Amino acid sequence: MSPGVLDIDLWRLSLALVFSLLAGGCSIALKLGLGRDILIGTVRTIAQLFLMGWVLGIVFAVESPWLVLGLFLAMAGAAAHTARGRVHESAVHFAWPMYASMAAVYLVVTVTVTGAIVHAEPWWKPQYFLPIGGMVLGNSMNSVALALDRLFSDLRARAAVVEMRLCLGADAAEASADVLRTAVRAGMIPSINSMMAVGLVSIPGMMTGQILGGSDPSQAIRYQIVVMLMIVGATALGSTLLTLIIRRRCFGPGDRPLLR
Amino acid sequence: MSHLALAAVSFAHQAAPGSPVPKGKACPPRPILDNADLSVPRGAFVLLTGPSGAGKSTLLRLFCRLEEPQTGQVLLDGQPVDTLPPAQLRRRVSYLQQTPAVIPGSVRENLLLPFSFKAASGQERPDDAALTALMDSLAAGDIPLDQEASTLSVGQRQRLCLARALLTRPEALLLDEPTSALDPESAAAVLGAAESFCLDQGGTVILVSHAEFAPARVTPVPYVLSGGQLRAGRLP
């Protein structure tokens, strides 16, 4: 048993399946048609987390910065792929710029947190870098998807006004400035809202983990404050940079709007 | 030399990249313009007619680079439009959309919108007296400059949009069915301003019109666009 945390053996872990069975029972009783999704979700949760635990075990043991960065970039790729799947727009190619800017922005934010605030030695120490990086990616993925979805839908919905501004001598950035603002706002609002509710509605994930691990709650809240502020900064930076880059791709040569 | 010209221009709407093509429907797109030539001298008033969907709006949009031809050249004063900075081109050749678009804010804010862009840096903003005089010339002088633009009728909006376009001091006006949704009084004001722009200021006008157009002062040069072919027409 690790100090400060109670181990869960496999037998007791399997008892947690009762909750999945409960959810499946509801689905059957109320004919919700969610039985298959609950089954797949349960299997995927178990398999993905066991895989993650196995990979993290290796990464923690090897302690190579390249392996840590490689895993971080793979996680960023998965986040970008997931966010890409939530945005339904085929007239603009945005997968690669999305991946590149997500990886770059969130790498900078994570390095800042582990190196300058947490003072991990070295800054890429996997026990700090990967969980913090994962939190940045997981939260920002939603904000990026929301911002891009809003950008594309508003450029289509407000095409007449964008075109009108172009016809009066605006460039693409001037013609779509209000659309960009609305998109970035849409991306940022969920993380700002979560700052309002944190500590009142729930004890957030990182803090929960530290308290379960036996940490002093006064230290656990400090980590959680860093995480909350980091997520707000990362979503602002990620949404802004990405919408700026991808808005440019929504206009062709001569600032011709491609979305109408 | 022509002021506005098309040289062997062909255009067809392309499917957006990545958009799915239904099975068995991968036929080439219908041409809007097929090897079209047009020469409009400075100060001319061109009346462009044709059936619905013939591509009259597309032809206007080619001149301000809201569309790009697949082949051929679109020329302004003999210079290909794709060699000009887009903002400069669109201030020289002003395209007025069929449905008037306004931004949230007052009539004054809408009229001064073109002066908020980088392309207008260094240009002096007209004062309220100049704005009122311009609106008056479009029979819209009774609209207070402080009125919210979104509360205007379609006819008033169209006159506001035309006034706003004229404030950028264009060389040419491209009017896309500007009177299609207007009451007779608004329609007369808009067409009168277009005629005045042509006759008094020496500007070039291309007017796309579906309805019968009875000019008061100009003798338009008629063209018909149909089935991808652009040819000289006859006045009614």
Q: Per residue in A141-164, pLDDT tens?
A: 889 999 999 999 999 999 999 999
Query: Nearest CA to CA, how far is B159 from chain A (Å)?
Result: 14
Same domain assignment for residues A233 and A135: yes
pLDDT tens-place string over residues A85-143: 888 888 888 888 889 989 999 999 999 999 999 898 899 999 999 989 998 898 888 89
Closest alpha carbon within chain B to A175: B117
Closest alpha carbon within chain A to B102: A161
Q: Does A169 touch chain B (CB under 8 A)?
A: yes
Partner residue opposite A169 with nearest CB, options B82, B161, B168: B168
Same domain assignment for residues A78 and A21: no
Same domain assignment for residues A70 and A97: yes
**Sign for the pseudo-dihedral over CA of B28, B30, B35, B38:** negative
User: In the numeric block, which tokens belong to residue A169?
Assistant: 């001598």
Cα distance between residue A130 and residue B172, in whole Å? 60
Partner residue opposite B101 with nearest CB, options A164, A169, A253: A164
Same domain assignment for residues A226 and A130: yes
Cα distance between residue A99 and residue B126, in whole Å? 47
pLDDT tens-place string over residues B70-116: 999 999 999 999 999 999 999 999 999 988 999 999 999 999 999 99
User: How many structural domains comprise chain A?
Assistant: 2
Same domain assignment for residues A177 and A101: yes
CA distances from residue B80 to B5, B55, B136 in whole angstroms, order as listed: 9, 21, 36
Q: Does A258 touch chain B (CB under 8 A)?
A: yes
Write down the pLDDT at residue B17.
54
Closest alpha carbon within chain A to B165: A168
Task: Find the domain containing A229 and state its range.
Answer: 65-257
Residue A46: CB atoms within 10 A of its CB come to 15
pLDDT tens-place string over residues A174-229: 999 999 999 999 999 998 988 888 877 767 777 888 888 888 888 888 888 888 89
Question: Is A168 within 8 Å of B91 when comparing Cβ atoms?
Answer: yes
Same domain assignment for residues A56 and A77: no
Query: Nearest CA to CA, how far is A249 from chain B (Å)?
Result: 12
Q: Write the DSSP symbol of residue B119.
A: G
Q: Which long-range contacts (CB under 8 A, 24 or more apart) does B193-197 make?
A: B193/B137, B193/B138, B193/B159, B193/B162, B193/B166, B194/B45, B194/B162, B195/B45, B196/B137, B197/B166, B197/B173
Cα distance between residue A174 and residue A209, in whole Å? 46
Q: A31, A62, A93: which is the final residue of a domain?
A: A62
Cα distance between residue B199 and residue B219, in whole Å? 10
Partner residue opposite A174 with nearest CB, options B17, B65, B117: B117
CB A243 within 8 A of CB A180: yes
Class in CATH terms, B2-11+30-232: alpha beta
With residues binned 3-state (H G I as helix, E B as strand, rest as coil), the percentages for chain B, rounded to 5, are 30, 25, 40
Q: In the predicted model, what is the mean pLDDT of residues B217-224?
A: 90
pLDDT tens-place string over residues A222-259: 888 888 899 999 999 999 999 999 999 999 999 999 99
Q: A43, A62, A81: which is the final residue of a domain?
A: A62
Same domain assignment for residues A44 and A74: no
Q: A62, A82, A112: which is the final residue of a domain?
A: A62
Q: Write the DSSP symbol of residue B149.
A: G
Q: In the predicted model, what is the mean pLDDT of residues B163-179?
A: 93
Same domain assignment for residues A57 and A79: no
Question: Is A169 within 8 Å of B82 when comparing Cβ atoms?
Answer: no
